[in-house]
Amino acid sequence: MSLSVEQICNETMMHRSSFYRYFNDKDDLLKHTVNTKITSLIDASDNDEDEIENVVDWLVNNKDILRNLATGRTNSSLYATLVNILSDIMLNRYDDNVDDRLVHAISLFDNHETGAYMLSSAVIGAFYWWRSQDYVTSKEVILTHAHNFIDWLDQQPEMGGHHHEKS
């Protein structure tokens, strides 16, 4: 069963015209909602490790909602939407010269957009795997693997022949 804009408007007591004033469709609402939440989790972090832990904690605490979002016929569409959202967040942080390991990893690529999309695809792919395993792998193991992956990226030489430092 798919959630309709009409159902969203009824639940939020919002008129359809108001909904469409702010969002193009329900996927646009999802994109803005997830983008806002992930950005706030990252911004609330004190360090690189906290960024990852805050996001993983949010995934764990909301796994029932996310399980429902990531099942059914729209799986491939949602996957692409989430990759785009996470890539946008990473690229915005890159453009804002944020000093964290993910931004550093993106800067290793000759084309930072390629790096952001590759990295976000890996993160979202791992999330889909974790969900498909019904979250049986512990949060601690997921965090260790995420940190190991980012550490590995940090140790790689520049990709594309150039190392782009942000000025």
How much is the average pLDDT of 9-35?
90
Of the two residues 72 and 142, the one the predictor is more confident about is 142
Instruction: Please say whether the beta carbons of 154 and 105 come within 8 A.
Output: yes
Cβ neighbours around 76 below 10 Å, total: 8
Closest of 42, 48, 157 to residue 99, by C-alpha: 48
Which tokens sit at 6?
């009409």
pLDDT at 167: 45
Instruction: Please say whether the beta carbons of 106 and 27 come within 8 A.
Output: no
Instruction: Please say whether the beta carbons of 100 and 46 come within 8 A.
Output: no
Collapse the DSSP code of 93 into the 3-class scheme (helix H, G, I; strand E, B; otherwise coil) and give the result. helix
How much is the average pLDDT of 133-140?
87
pLDDT at 19: 95
Q: How far apart are CA 55 and CA 57, in angstroms?
A: 5
pLDDT at 1: 46
pTM as predicted? 0.71
Mean pLDDT computed over every residue of the chain: 81
| Residue 9 pLDDT > 90 | yes
The model's confidence at residue 17, banded by pLDDT at 50, 70 and 90, is very high
Which tokens sit at 36?
């806002």
Q: How far apart are CA 69 and CA 90, in angstroms?
A: 22
How much is the average pLDDT of 33-39?
83
Query: pLDDT digits over 143-167, tens only?
Result: 888 888 888 887 777 665 444 455 4
How much is the average pLDDT of 41-53?
77
Find the range with the poorest average confidence among 8-12, 26-30, 108-112.
Answer: 26-30
Query: pLDDT digits over 88-98, tens only?
Result: 888 988 999 98
